[in-house]
Structure 1
């Protein structure tokens, strides 16, 4: 600090920046310490604005549309003065939905409007169907005194009782913390990159490369840096719902979150048992602090972008020992069309997160399978890289894990002698053991669930026809190698890079360095094979005809173009090998300029096509998230049907119960935050059965009362109660004891592995000293 302050005092620009940062933080702090805005609106305080609906008071004294009519805004408040921030809208209401001519269920809710432009976000929060009390969150961008709360009816009967508007003070303080962190990291970056700074990175070449890499991250993140942008894509609702579900689970006391209790309209849904979600805890924690689901997702995307750039640069620098080569590879990988398609067109959160960790695998293989046996230090580094890479693939995207395991297995089998050498085999065994122990908290429940045979919706079959169905979804070869609609290509720059590598390898008389030749040939060979596997010319039908277990694993990819995940990293490596080989001939720079130009042109074409589509859709915070796709499905039930228990059947507006299960008399049943509470009476002739409004997952236990849980024929959670019994039963989320024990094993493994790594580092430092 003694060196930093004199530097700042000498720089007028630095002092201006500090003044601006302090002003922003001070303004945000002043807003946070103000008394929270608090309004209470009674039924007689609403102004009627409906044009078609019949507005009156119902029997309970609530006001609103007492008869179904066309959808419209029906009520509004007087003008309110609200400062920027989040507001909780808590309402007592009655809502009876109707269906329109397209058999879409109607919904009702509230939104903010203002006389001045850009003051409010325009989102509409919708109240839950089947309840009479709900809390939603609305956002205000700028402090204004012309804001009104408006009640919106989608066509059903909708009446409102008492409504309260209260500012979320937690979020106000989170904003202060957010600005403090933003100012800290901005200042730190400036101190690291300004050449005259006492903390500047002394290697000018490295400093320049990292600066340009940061610019590439900003270029790749343009959609999420725009107001309301980046919330678009095929799977965006599912993944935003996952963030919301994890946040709700954390609020209700679950850790780790095993089930989204509010999903499926309170029936609960458990993607967490089938799908790694560790990285999504970051946006979910932000969500629990009051950050909107949109901003939480934006921050997650930015974090993944920086992580991808950082890991790629580290890995390529380790492999090629050259800063500019590492920079080129990182930019090409960051701006790869398939990766951008995953980010923005498809919103494939698991897949694009997994791609952040892929470069570590070839980096580790280069250490283990070089011309010479790896040293003890290299083996240790490779082990750490393998643990991080494969562990995070397991926690982000199982299909990417499968693809990378297959590719790595082919490589290891080809190098069988080196693989079974003492040093390398020990690294593999150690890496696998650590990955398994670290992830045992997820793996054991996953294997139990999959082994039960109750949940099989995610697999499409193991026949030749199933393989042909996958083959039909593949890209055409012209699509794969050219710029096209939706960026269905691997990147022209990578094709150019591979062609140059093959030209250098075939045409040069001089001996090619062993390292570049080996990396380039393996990367080109497996990379082009992965490209072929992603097309509709690959014989996936024959894969489906393989013995059941093998074909079942291979066909789990669902879409063949997922193999472009593997192709993107390998063809980037082949391209870097071409650049590295041309460096002695002074041709590396022209090739790098050509590749970067092609990559930036592809990015421009991508954004030119993407932004008009993306701007058509706006995603609200919570209620809008749940119902926004009601045109194609009721978002209460949206979370897909891949992880439903056998017997559970959905239609557009709920579950279908084909079998009568309940035999005991249920006097009262109500859903709680994490389960249900019921009162029952069982006759004296036989044990009774009660079917609960919860999907069957082995995460529930009986917390109060007597009975045995089982899966009903309808895929629901059932209770068998003793003959002649009666009373109250409370069922809530509580993991089995052995799941809790393996969680403890994973925690202990983290501590032991971390401490072991620190000891090795301290030992190395002492040896150098």
Structure 2
């Protein structure tokens, strides 16, 4: 009989990763996260809009009790469309939302795997993917915070790094790999603006480090400029309307301080021992002493296992036991981002410059990116040089962080219990960052209700009602003119039209942040208030669409050309 072929190392780790993903999906199913209401409501709102009409949605008309909320103008939601489509077809939102979260973990794993595999090979790739996709930071983003945008950023960061690597560090002639940088940055923009800004800062740091190499190969400058232009065109449908809205409308996020960096710095100890470690420690102490919650559970992610691993890595590099020029700077950046995230007294000094990141340990995302790749390179090199003790110790320590994270986060999800999606409210709009600055408070829509105000005409009678995707105001006995303030949040792009005469009325921002318009020269009529959009919004959609179509056609043509060349040889 033939001997069964053994599964290689990469295959075994893929199997382990699959088991971890399944376990993750179970944990996600049980979870009750901090931002779960806001993001679940985003999916529910998109599903509602899909039932009304297909297209790109700028306003969630069902949010805030029908007042409408411009979240999609500022927070990319394109990657939520598949989950929302399933909800629109009748799937329970709890199932669709959790499938979406599980898919983020899977996409992060394969993104890191394919990017690393193209440079360092399969063994390094599978290790890097495992360390990256199941890192404490991503696990905390999904299980504790349900921070969809930050989690999605994990999918595109490896692509950005690979794009930069192909342009600057190991360019090809002729090269089309600069497109990777554009795809990665476009994905980040659609996912999470804060992560995009931080990544741009990272790219600037990388350019400074590799300034000599860039200067010698000036084509890399052209490639980066081309990548930037392509990114602008791909993301036009989102970024151009966002910038237009921010330039013409004062918002909570730009006019008020909703959060600050120094006020969100994690306690120094919790960056070593995050919620996962504290939770496990609480369980042990409770079993021994009978005292529950001995330590206050923090929801900050910890990177203790990774920290020990990098101390070990630095030791090996310092002693010259492992030399790898490709990984030298990766290790340096890993230590840099760890330092930025962990040293509390640095945060107030940086507040005026990077206070926009709101939570200081967001830098740990980049630490994990470099640490996972650098650690995988180290482990493979140790194995190739047959330094078995060091290899096993490093693998054990790296795995330790993931295992403890799973254990601790499982305790937290079990303790929190399952989120009751049946209580989901359209008023779940996060911190209300995208309300206009004129709105009095976050709960204004809930407190006011469907109340119309008409102050300058006491004889006119009117009736207000919500319809699918728009609102209507019917009025009678108008003598002269009347100014109405309707219960709809005002954003640039709203239109007010008389359905009977076709007359248009200019919508204005009321003192309460609502749509206000003046009607005259009519005794009665029905006015429709709806979001029509702006010229920039409509044009930018076509720019993005044409750019993506041309990019796909060009990619197919390139593949055919490569196959033709191979056949000739």
Which residues in structure 2 correspond to 1:59-74 (within 5 Å)? none
Aligned length: 533
Aligned to 1:365: 164
Aligned to 1:430: 226
Separation in 1, partners of 2:262, 2:330: 24
Runs of 5+ unmatched residues, structure 2: 279-297
Alpha-carbon shift at residue 638 of structure 1 (Å): 4.7
Corresponding residue SS for 1:663: coil
Aligned to 1:747: 545
The correspondence for 1:503, drawn from 315, 324, 334, is 315
- Contact 1:217 1:309 (C-alpha < 8 Å) held by counterparts: no
The correspondence for 1:700, drawn from 470, 494, 498, is 494
- The reply on whether 1:534 has 2:341 as its aligned counterpart is yes
Separation in 2, partners of 1:674, 1:720: 22
Separation in 2, partners of 1:609, 1:744: 47
Alpha-carbon shift at residue 218 of structure 1 (Å): 3.3
Aligned to 2:528: 730
- Contact 1:387 1:432 (C-alpha < 8 Å) held by counterparts: yes
Q: Cα–Cα, structure 1 residues 405 and 230, in superposed 2: closer, same or farther, change >3 Å?
A: farther
Corresponding residue SS for 1:732: strand
Q: Cα–Cα, structure 1 residues 731 and 694, in superposed 2: closer, same or farther, change >3 Å?
A: same
- Contact 2:334 2:371 (C-alpha < 8 Å) held by counterparts: yes
Alpha-carbon shift at residue 355 of structure 1 (Å): 0.8
The correspondence for 1:259, drawn from 27, 46, 59, is 59
CA RMSD of aligned residues (A): 2.9
Alpha-carbon shift at residue 624 of structure 1 (Å): 1.7
Aligned to 2:284: none
Which residues in structure 2 correspond to 1:12-91 (within 5 Å)? none
The correspondence for 1:416, drawn from 202, 211, 224, is 211
Q: Cα–Cα, structure 1 residues 536 and 643, in superposed 2: closer, same or farther, change >3 Å?
A: farther
User: Normalising to structure 2: TM-score of the pair?
Assistant: 0.86
CA offset digits 1:253-304 (Å, max 9, x no partner): 1511111111111111111011011111111111111111111012112221
- The reply on whether 1:449 has 2:449 as its aligned counterpart is no
- The reply on whether 1:334 has 2:334 as its aligned counterpart is no
- Contact 1:650 1:656 (C-alpha < 8 Å) held by counterparts: no
- Contact 1:311 1:356 (C-alpha < 8 Å) held by counterparts: yes
Which residues in structure 2 correspond to 1:585-734 (within 5 Å)? 585-587=385-387, 590-615=389-414, 616-621=416-421, 623-626=422-425, 636=427, 638-650=429-441, 652=443, 654-655=446-447, 662-664=455-457, 665-681=460-476, 684-685=479-480, 687-703=481-497, 704=499, 705-706=502-503, 707-723=505-521, 726-734=524-532
Separation in 1, partners of 2:519, 2:146: 45
Separation in 2, partners of 1:603, 1:497: 12
- Contact 1:337 1:491 (C-alpha < 8 Å) held by counterparts: yes
Alpha-carbon shift at residue 213 of structure 1 (Å): 2.1
Corresponding residue SS for 2:417: coil
CA offset digits 1:143-167 (Å, max 9, x no partner): xxxxxxxxxxxxxxxxxxxxxxxxx
Bigger radius of gyration among the two: 1
Separation in 2, partners of 1:607, 1:507: 33
- Contact 1:498 1:578 (C-alpha < 8 Å) held by counterparts: no
Alpha-carbon shift at residue 414 of structure 1 (Å): 3.2
Greater strand fraction, Structure 1 or Structure 2:
1
Q: Cα–Cα, structure 1 residues 765 and 204, in superposed 2: closer, same or farther, change >3 Å?
A: farther
Separation in 2, partners of 1:681, 1:596: 77
- The reply on whether 1:766 has 2:564 as its aligned counterpart is yes
Alpha-carbon shift at residue 368 of structure 1 (Å): 2.4
Alpha-carbon shift at residue 536 of structure 1 (Å): 5.3
Greater helix fraction, Structure 1 or Structure 2:
2
Corresponding residue SS for 2:538: helix
- The reply on whether 1:380 has 2:176 as its aligned counterpart is yes
Aligned to 2:286: none
- Contact 2:153 2:188 (C-alpha < 8 Å) held by counterparts: yes
- Contact 1:648 1:656 (C-alpha < 8 Å) held by counterparts: no
- Contact 2:67 2:489 (C-alpha < 8 Å) held by counterparts: yes
Moved more, 556-565 or 723-732: 723-732
Which residues in structure 2 correspond to 1:89-108 (within 5 Å)? none
Moved more, 324-333 or 475-484: 475-484
- Contact 1:437 1:749 (C-alpha < 8 Å) held by counterparts: yes
Aligned to 2:195: 400
Alpha-carbon shift at residue 438 of structure 1 (Å): 0.9
Aligned to 1:471: 262
- The reply on whether 1:390 has 2:185 as its aligned counterpart is yes
Aligned to 2:26: 225
Separation in 2, partners of 1:590, 1:655: 65
CA offset digits 1:42-100 (Å, max 9, x no partner): xxxxxxxxxxxxxxxxxxxxxxxxxxxxxxxxxxxxxxxxxxxxxxxxxxxxxxxxxxx
Alpha-carbon shift at residue 448 of structure 1 (Å): 0.8
Corresponding residue SS for 1:650: coil
- The reply on whether 1:284 has 2:84 as its aligned counterpart is yes
User: Normalising to structure 1: TM-score of the pair?
Assistant: 0.64
- Contact 1:682 1:723 (C-alpha < 8 Å) held by counterparts: no
- Contact 2:40 2:97 (C-alpha < 8 Å) held by counterparts: yes
Moved more, 337-346 or 531-540: 531-540
Separation in 1, partners of 2:173, 2:65: 55
Q: Cα–Cα, structure 1 residues 417 and 651, in superposed 2: closer, same or farther, change >3 Å?
A: closer
Alpha-carbon shift at residue 456 of structure 1 (Å): 3.5
